Amino acid sequence: MVNLTGINSNMLRNAPKFYEVAKRIVEITEDCILVAHNSSFDYRILKTEFKRLGFPYKRKTLCTVELSKQLIPDMESYSLGKLTRALGIPMSDRHRASGDALATVKLFKMLLDKDLDKNILKDAVKIEQKSKIAPKLTTIIDELPADTGVYYIHNSEGEIIYIGKSKNIRKRIIQHFTGTNSKSKKIQKLVHTVTFEKTGSELAALLKESAEIKKNKPIFNRALRRSIFTHALYSFTDSKGYINLHIDKSDREDLPITTFSTRASGKHFLFKAVEDFNLCQKLTGLYNTKTSCFKYEVKECEGACINEEPPMEYNKRIEQLKEKYSYDNKNMLIVDKGREISEKVVFLIENGIFRGMGYFDLNLQINNRKILKSVITPMTNDRDSQHIIQSFIRRNKRLKIIDLNNS
């Protein structure tokens, strides 16, 4: 979702909980018609959240997707972004409440103008959609926790048909059960039971999800993209002895320093690394030149680009970057929050190989190798697990890492 919307967990940290804004939503929508782009989805989410609070929420709705298809036929796409762009409707702050809402208002006004007979608007008003969540699905939702973990959707034969992970299992299952795409509808039809495993740690959930999809091969995970990490940071030493960095596709055989979901995110990382480690733009592939880089011209580069700075001095800073973002040949523990307050989860890396993970109580001495090995559940050290761990380390600056060579 971060790649799609640009909204990350830090931006949501101080966001209010639904129960804190529920009263205000009731007040501002009283005696109103809800207008939304794909209103059936938004309305079902609202109804589901209010039902959890024990409040029957009913409003009339109008869908600008349905109205657009009727009033403006033959458009290439009816997504809000592409539709407004095709119609010349200005749009700012995409995927933010204010930007999307203002664009929808402008689109709705255009639709009102086009509905000369007003017949479509009259017919399109809906009191309550019949396609609400089935009682069986509601019962399943009520038994799920709002915790981080891995969930398993089973059919009536007990077979796992889908495996997923979420920071909020209940919320994610609600999305499955209210979704209108082909996969969601098939899941809604086949689901019989949802089981789950709390992990506490998002890293634990990511690793378990990846491993268990490979092992179980659920029918609705088969279309899962092969890797969510498409690009990686690699290094090579040039003829002058300088270590160069560059972003490339992550399907190479040589071991990357760290990995990224897109080339753009890799470039963003490199720009910041240049600042943090005082690196040369030319030797990181960010400034294509046969002479000095731009930072040298403004006195912010030591001159590795024109061989002024000795390779040994420059390469020290490259090694600092590698030390921080790669666990190649390292012996270390990654410690994260557990399922309970008194518990932690630990991930063991030996000689750069991910060995597995396990939970322990706070009073357990995790630097005791013998005890540690008994706690760890072995897991496969494949390319995906390496990508997941490297990306998680990079994104979580305050993650506790213990160097086993120095403990």
pTM score? 0.60
Q: What integer pLDDT is reported at residue 92 of this predicted model?
A: 66
d(CA 247, CA 305): 18
Query: Distance from CA of residue 406 to its chain's centroid?
Result: 34
pLDDT, block means (10 residues), the chain with 407 residues: 52 71 85 85 87 85 86 83 77 65 82 62 51 75 92 89 93 91 90 90 94 88 65 92 92 82 89 92 90 88 93 94 83 89 88 87 65 78 85 85 76
The DSSP line for 265-291 is HHHHHHHHHHHHHT--TGGGTSS--SS
State residue 131's pLDDT score. 47
Phi, psi dihedral angles at 211 (to 5 degrees): -65, -40
- Tell me, what DSSP letter sits at residue 316? H
Ramachandran category for residue 193: left, alpha or beta (phi over 0 → left; psi -120 to 50 → alpha): beta
E strand spans, 204-305: 231-237, 243-249, 258-260
- Residue 318: predicted pLDDT: 94
Q: With beta carbons less than 8 A apart as the criterion, state whether 180 and 131 touch.
A: no
Q: What is the pLDDT of residue 23?
A: 86
What are the CB-based long-range contacts (under 8 Å, 24+) for 75-81?
A: 80/37, 80/104, 80/107
The whole-number pLDDT of residue 148 equals: 95
Per-residue DSSP letters for 17-53?
PHHHHHHHHHHHHTT-EEEETTHHHHHHHHHHHHHHT
Q: Which amino acid belongs to residue 257?
A: I
